[in-house]
């Protein structure tokens, strides 16, 4: 296994290759579309191979689970602050590397079909490469600051890719919204990082893990504060309530971007960050509780919105928010394994669904309302098939991937003693099955819309979906409870606790998912119950959900009242006080200058006179002080 060893030792190549591809595309291949996309794909395929090597190496060395492999070099240092950059490999990293490189590669191959003929073709691949490089850099970070740098870089890529169609106003607005909203979270994260740096003197994950137990005993409050501040970053990045508003709007970007960034990788960076800094949270039950309840609430809340949305990608986006809430919930109740497991399976099936959605939208030229689609399966059997696989996976039908990971989370909530969150997870699972089935039934099976002339997508778009579909079906088996040394053995925090398969939970999950799908069938498939009648009956709830609980409007209102009011006050202060000071100093300077100007007579003799008078004065002063003092004063002497 020389290759595995090589990959383990040269893991820094994994983010570097896409970055090199980015530089190449930007510098040389801007007008060579084929070369650009080929470079991008080759670089990410090699990265993927290296990531596989890392996974293989980790599987050979179980000690890496407890003791991460770290190699780093000094980045910069100053008194009290030593920051290095490097590579940290443990099983979590290996899993993330695998997922990110896999999805990135698939999305790039898919994009060669999806973006065909787009004027920004090369630019798109350049951005994708930059994103892949930043995301992989984030994954292998050894310390919080390095992670923060890449964290911001992926935010930048997200901004660039959401605003990819920059000539569209909505895309521009969405890009700005995404950037600014996540920045709010990043601010909290930055303060948290500073707080950690000040208290520990280091930002290295490994060192923090060693120092944390003693520190947590001494300062429980500080640890909670740090934990919550650091968690504010993931709230923004991973679209948790109340900073989730940007993620649905981010669907303005091209569909492959939604699949890669806003479903499979970047948005889970927040989850990953919490997992990386898990030592920090582990010692603060309060912070853990905050995470758990925010995650749980987000999961339920986003699912409630998704039920009534009409745009396909928006439904998927709210589903992503909801699933991210799931992952947070799992972390909050203390199960790193369950969270990471769901992160992985979710990456498979959600990326698959986004790519399938992209394929459908591509075929009907951007008609986004699912009620205007209808009957796509006849013309697009493959896409429809993949979408159904995604649906079954996310709904949690065995043996599809989502079933195993969701069950892990539900079990973790139960084991952690969070009975309320257990029910929240169950209800969310039901809603998820329902709204996803609704989308699939309406868009792919209902009555055909004669205005649409769909056609099946080419092979280079179908093949990546096939790979992801395969993983969405079988990828979850690595974590099935019967597998000895399964996923939760490799990816864990602390002791490995093998647990038996809980048949009761499994059965209830299947039942709930089945009920959700069945209900959707009753309403939208067979139409035994009229959907619009239901909407009228519960018009209040429907409106609430359809308008996303008016969160955007609330923000708008807050913006108008609070921000605008504050700014009026600040404007006054700026005008009177700040400008007054500035104008005043300018006036004073002007007045002084007016007076001093008189000393400039233009008479050479006056200047000479002042010169000699100054000489006399200086000599006199120096004579009075004595030569030694005078020399010391002007900085001369020995």
Partner 1 sequence: MTIGLTHFLVLGAALFCLGLFCALSKRNLIAILMGIELMLNAVNVNLIAFNKFVAPGSFEGQVFSIFIIAVAAAEVAVGLALVISIYRDRTTSSAEELNWLKL
Partner 2 sequence: MNETVYVIAFYILAAIVLFSAIGVVVLKNIVHSALLLALTFVGVAGIYVLLNADYLAAVQVMVYAGAIAILIAFGVMLTRRPNMKESNPFNSSAVVGFVVAAGLFGTMAWAILTTTFPLGLTAPTDEISVRGVAKLLLEDYTVSFEAAALLLTVAMAGAIIIAKGAKKA
- Interface positions with partner 1 (CB under 8 A): 600-605, 608-609, 612
Of residues 526 and 609, the one with the C-beta less far from partner 1: 609
Our finding on whether 621 is near partner 2 (CB under 8 A) is no
DSSP H/E element including 310:
none
Of residues 27 and 605, the one with the C-beta less far from partner 1: 605
In the complex, the smallest distance separating the C-beta of residue 597 from partner 2, rounded to whole angstroms, is 18
In the complex, the smallest distance separating the C-beta of residue 623 from partner 2, rounded to whole angstroms, is 7
Our finding on whether 607 is near partner 2 (CB under 8 A) is no
Total Cβ atoms within 10 A of residue 222: 16
Of residues 608 and 632, the one with the C-beta less far from partner 1: 608
Q: How many residues bind partner 2 (CB under 8 A)?
A: 10
Binding partner of 526, given partner 2, partner 1, none, CB within 5-8 angstroms per partner class: none
Task: Count, in order, helices (H) and strands (E) of the chain.
Answer: 31, 2
Question: Using CB under 8 A, which of the segments 120-128, 210-218, 425-433, 614-622 binds partner 2?
Answer: 614-622
Our finding on whether 613 is near partner 2 (CB under 8 A) is yes
Our finding on whether 612 is near partner 2 (CB under 8 A) is yes
In the complex, the smallest distance separating the C-beta of residue 615 from partner 2, rounded to whole angstroms, is 7
Dist CA 469 CA 352 (whole Å) = 6
Q: Return the exposure string of 379-390: e unless at least 16 CB atoms fall within 10 Å of the residue's CB, then b.
A: bbebbbbbbbbb
Beta bridge partner(s), residue 143: 204
Dist CA 212 CA 34 (whole Å) = 51
Tokens representing 134 are 């930043």
Total Cβ atoms within 10 A of residue 544: 15
In the complex, the smallest distance separating the C-beta of residue 627 from partner 1, rounded to whole angstroms, is 19
Dist CA 563 CA 460 (whole Å) = 49
Dist CA 537 CA 550 (whole Å) = 20
Token pair 């600014």: residue: 180
Binding mask 562-601 for partner 2 (x = CB under 8 A): ----------------------------------------
| Candidate residues 1, 564, 581, 619; the one interacting with partner 2 per rule CB under 8 A | 619
Interactions with partner 2, residue window 302-341 (CB under 8 A): none
Our finding on whether 620 is near partner 2 (CB under 8 A) is yes
In the complex, the smallest distance separating the C-beta of residue 591 from partner 1, rounded to whole angstroms, is 18
Helices 269-276 and 91-114, axial angle in degrees (round to 10): 170
SS3 564: helix
Binding partner of 604, given partner 2, partner 1, none, CB within 5-8 angstroms per partner class: partner 1
Of residues 608 and 633, the one with the C-beta less far from partner 1: 608
Give alpha helix (H) positions in 201-245: 205-218, 220-237
Q: What separation in angstroms does the CA of 412 have from each of 52, 331, 396, 432?
A: 29, 9, 16, 19
Q: What separation in angstroms does the CA of 330 have from each of 93, 199, 247, 259, 291?
A: 18, 28, 21, 23, 9
| Candidate residues 78, 616, 624, 634; the one interacting with partner 2 per rule CB under 8 A | 616
Binding partner of 532, given partner 2, partner 1, none, CB within 5-8 angstroms per partner class: none
Our finding on whether 606 is near partner 2 (CB under 8 A) is yes
In the complex, the smallest distance separating the C-beta of residue 604 from partner 2, rounded to whole angstroms, is 11
Helices 459-474 and 381-395, axial angle in degrees (round to 10): 20
Our finding on whether 615 is near partner 2 (CB under 8 A) is yes
In the complex, the smallest distance separating the C-beta of residue 621 from partner 2, rounded to whole angstroms, is 11
Interactions with partner 2, residue window 536-555 (CB under 8 A): none
Total Cβ atoms within 10 A of residue 508: 15
Phi/psi-derived region of residue 314, left when phi > 0, alpha when psi is between -120 and 50, beta in every other case: alpha
In the complex, the smallest distance separating the C-beta of residue 595 from partner 2, rounded to whole angstroms, is 19
Binding partner of 27, given partner 1, partner 2, none, CB within 5-8 angstroms per partner class: none
SS3 499: coil
In the complex, the smallest distance separating the C-beta of residue 78 from partner 2, rounded to whole angstroms, is 50
Binding region for partner 2 (CB under 8 A): 605-606, 609, 612-613, 615-616, 619-620, 623
């Amino acid at each position: 296994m020389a290759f595995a060893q090589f990959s383990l030792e040269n893991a820094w190549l994994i983010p570097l290759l896409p970055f090199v591809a980015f530089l190449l595309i930007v510098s040389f291949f801007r007008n060579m579309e084929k070369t650009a996309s080929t470079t991008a794909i080759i670089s990410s395929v090699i990265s993927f191979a290296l990531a596989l090597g890392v996974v293989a190496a980790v599987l050979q060395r179980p000690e890496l689970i407890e003791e991460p492999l770290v190699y780093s070099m000094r980045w910069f240092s100053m008194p009290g602050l030593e920051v290095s950059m490097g590579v940290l490999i443990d099983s979590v990293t290996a899993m993330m590397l695998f997922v990110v490189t896999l999805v990135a590669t698939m999305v790039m191959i898919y994009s060669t079909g999806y973006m065909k003929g787009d004027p920004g073709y090369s630019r798109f691949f350049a951005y994708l490469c930059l994103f892949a490089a930043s995301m992989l850099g984030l994954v292998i970070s050894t310390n919080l600051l390095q992670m923060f740098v890449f964290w911001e870089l992926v935010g930048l890529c997200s901004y660039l890719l959401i605003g990819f169609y920059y000539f569209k106003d909505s895309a521009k607005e969405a890009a700005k919204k995404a950037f600014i909203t996540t920045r709010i979270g990043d601010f909290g994260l930055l303060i948290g990082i500073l707080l950690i740096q000040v208290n520990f003197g280091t930002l290295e994950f490994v060192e923090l893990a060693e120092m944390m137990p003693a520190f947590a005993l001494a300062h429980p409050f500080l640890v909670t504060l740090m934990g919550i501040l650091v968690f504010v970053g993931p709230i923004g990045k991973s679209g948790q309530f109340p900073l989730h508003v940007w993620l649905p709007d981010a669907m303005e970007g091209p569909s492959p971007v939604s699949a890669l960034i806003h479903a499979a990788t970047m948005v889970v960076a927040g989850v990953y960050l919490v997992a990386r800094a898990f030592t920090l949270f582990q010692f603060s039950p309060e912070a853990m509780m905050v995470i758990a309840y925010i995650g749980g609430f987000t999961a339920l809340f986003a699912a409630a919105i998704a039920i009534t949305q009409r745009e396909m990608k928006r439904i998927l986006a709210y589903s992503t928010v909801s699933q991210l809430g799931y992952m947070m919930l799992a972390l909050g109740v203390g199960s790193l394994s369950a969270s990471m497991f769901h992160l992985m399976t979710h990456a498979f099936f959600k990326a698959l669904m986004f790519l399938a959605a992209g394929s459908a939208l591509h075929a009907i030229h951007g008609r986004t309302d699912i009620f205007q689609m209808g009957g796509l399966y006849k013309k697009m059997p493959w896409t429809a098939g993949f979408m159904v696989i995604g649906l079954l996976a996310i709904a949690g039908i065995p043996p599809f991937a989502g079933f195993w990971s969701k069950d892990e989370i539900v079990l973790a909530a139960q084991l952690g003693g969070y009975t309320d969150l257990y029910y929240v997870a169950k209800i969310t699972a039901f809603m998820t099955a329902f709204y996803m089935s609704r989308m699939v039934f309406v868009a792919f099976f209902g009555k055909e819309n004669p205005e649409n002339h769909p056609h099946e997508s080419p092979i280079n778009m179908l093949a990546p979906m096939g790979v992801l579909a395969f993983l969405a079906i079988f990828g979850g088996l690595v974590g099935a409870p019967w597998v000895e040394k399964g996923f939760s053995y490799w990816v864990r925090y602390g002791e490995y606790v093998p647990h038996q398969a809980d048949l009761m939970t499994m059965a209830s999950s299947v039942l709930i998912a089945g009920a959700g799908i069945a209900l959707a069938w009753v309403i939208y498939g067979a139409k035994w119950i009229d959907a619009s009648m239901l909407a009228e009956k519960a018009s209040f709830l429907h409106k609430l959900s359809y308008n996303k609980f008016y969160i955007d409007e609330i923000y708008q209102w807050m913006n108008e009242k609070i921000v605008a009011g504050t700014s009026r006050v600040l404007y006054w202060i700026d005008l009177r006080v700040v400008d007054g000071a500035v104008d005043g100093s300018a006036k004073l300077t002007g007045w002084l200058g007016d007076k001093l100007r008189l000393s400039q007579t233009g008479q050479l003799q006056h200047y000479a006179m002042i010169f000699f008078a100054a000489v006399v004065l200086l000599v006199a002063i120096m004579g009075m002080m004595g030569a030694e003092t005078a020399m010391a004063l002007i900085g001369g002497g020995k």
